[in-house]
């Protein structure tokens, strides 16, 4: 993926941050270096993939609270759901 100033500005918008005109080229350069490093990782030899069952536990069902029990612990509830304040403007 080629990083451009337009893409950086879209990322700024999504992250809800504002960079100065002096900061934008610096961050763009840093992001390009980071992506180049990540792209090079698969070429590194001697690293074994341990993820398949090596370090992860099996997903096993376990007892949990019923809906009524969980809702009884909620400060606010509505029609069988947790009621929370809105997080998006």
Split at pLDDT 50, 70, 90, the class of 63 is: very high
For residues 13 and 56, what is the distance between their CA atoms, to the nearest angstrom?
36
For residues 84 and 89, what is the distance between their CA atoms, to the nearest angstrom?
14
**Residue-wise pLDDT tens digits, 18-39:** 999 999 999 999 999 999 988 8
Rounded to 5 degrees, φ, ψ at 78 are -155, 120
For residues 32 and 2, what is the distance between their CA atoms, to the nearest angstrom?
8
End-to-end distance of the chain based on CA atoms, in angstroms?
31
Look at residue 89 and give its three-state secondary structure.
coil
Split at pLDDT 50, 70, 90, the class of 48 is: low
What domains are defined for the chain? 5-40 (1.10.20.60)
Are the C-beta atoms of residues 61 and 70 closer than 8 Å to each other?
no
């Amino acid at each position: 993926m080629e990083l451009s100033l337009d893409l950086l500005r879209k990322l700024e918008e999504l992250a809800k941050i504002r960079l100065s005109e002096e900061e934008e080229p610096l961050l763009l350069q840093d992001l390009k270096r980071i992506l180049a490093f990540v792209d090079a990782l698969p070429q590194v030899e001697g690293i074994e993939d341990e993820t398949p069952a090596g370090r992860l536990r099996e997903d096993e069902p376990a007892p949990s609270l019923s809906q009524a029990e969980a809702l009884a612990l909620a400060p606010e509830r509505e029609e069988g759901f947790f009621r929370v304040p809105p997080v998006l403007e």
